[in-house]
Chain A
Amino acid sequence: AQSVTQLDSQVPVFEEAPVELRCNYSSSVSVYLFWYVQYPNQGLQLLLKYLSGSTLVKGINGFEAEFNKSQTSFHLRKPSVHISDTAEYFCAVRTTDSWGKLQFGAGTQVVVTP
């Protein structure tokens, strides 16, 4: 079975500063990787996903993530955050040989202050 670890439960950051959210996974087989965002009082929405190909993946709202197979990581980055990026971010993984069960990390709360 696969597992996902988000290394930071909360990340405070100033507006216009860069942010990196760390995600590591473990799996004995190949995986698909996802980042979701949850704004206050809403469900989750997809930020970006890695299925195959280029290891640098660009998503919505200026976010990007890099898949590193040797380090089994999928860290999320944004070069300059806005107040509106305040949200909880979830990393998720599923193996390519399963039909659809996603394993989620515990989440990272990003708080952007002026």
Chain B
Amino acid sequence: DVKVTQSSRYLVKRTGEKVFLECVQDMDHENMFWYRQDPGLGLRLIYFSYDVKMKEKGDIPEGYSVSREKKERFSLILESASTNQTSMYLCASRTGGGGSPLHFGNGTRLTVT
């Protein structure tokens, strides 16, 4: 079974802090994704990566950046956390195949105070 591991289940940070969310997958997947999940809005794509050191903006990249130095690891960075970034963050990975599904981690619930 594919395993996608997010390093923290809950995080509480202060406004203005730099925040790192880490994600590791163990199935050699090419593609990795970061989503945020908010009630009534579903999942919205922040950034994705289709290869090491490659990254593409999703639908809501403002205030975020990412890093992919190794194939198995995809980090989401909040350069200066703000209260409107309080959310559930979900990491996912998939192979490069056309119809292959996403495999998700259990999420990180981030609260910015």
Q: Return chain A residues, CB-CB under 8 Å to B99.
A: 32, 49, 51
How many A-B pairs with Cβ below 8 Å? 56
Min CB–CB distance A26 → chain B (angstroms): 15
Min CB–CB distance A99 → chain B (angstroms): 7
Q: Return chain B residues, CB-CB under 8 Å to A42.
A: 106-107
Q: Return chain B residues, CB-CB under 8 Å to A32.
A: 98-99
A114 on the interface (CB 8 Å rule)? Answer: no
Centre residue among A9, A32, A41, A102 by max chain B CB count within 10 A = A102
**A46-65 Cβ-contact flags toward B at 8 Å (1 or 0):** 10010100000000000000
Which A residues contact B (CB, under 8 angstroms)?
4, 6, 9, 32, 34, 36, 41-46, 49, 51, 90, 96, 99-102, 104-107
Which B residues contact A (CB, under 8 angstroms)?
4, 31, 35, 40-45, 48, 50, 58, 90, 92, 94, 96, 98-99, 101-102, 104-107
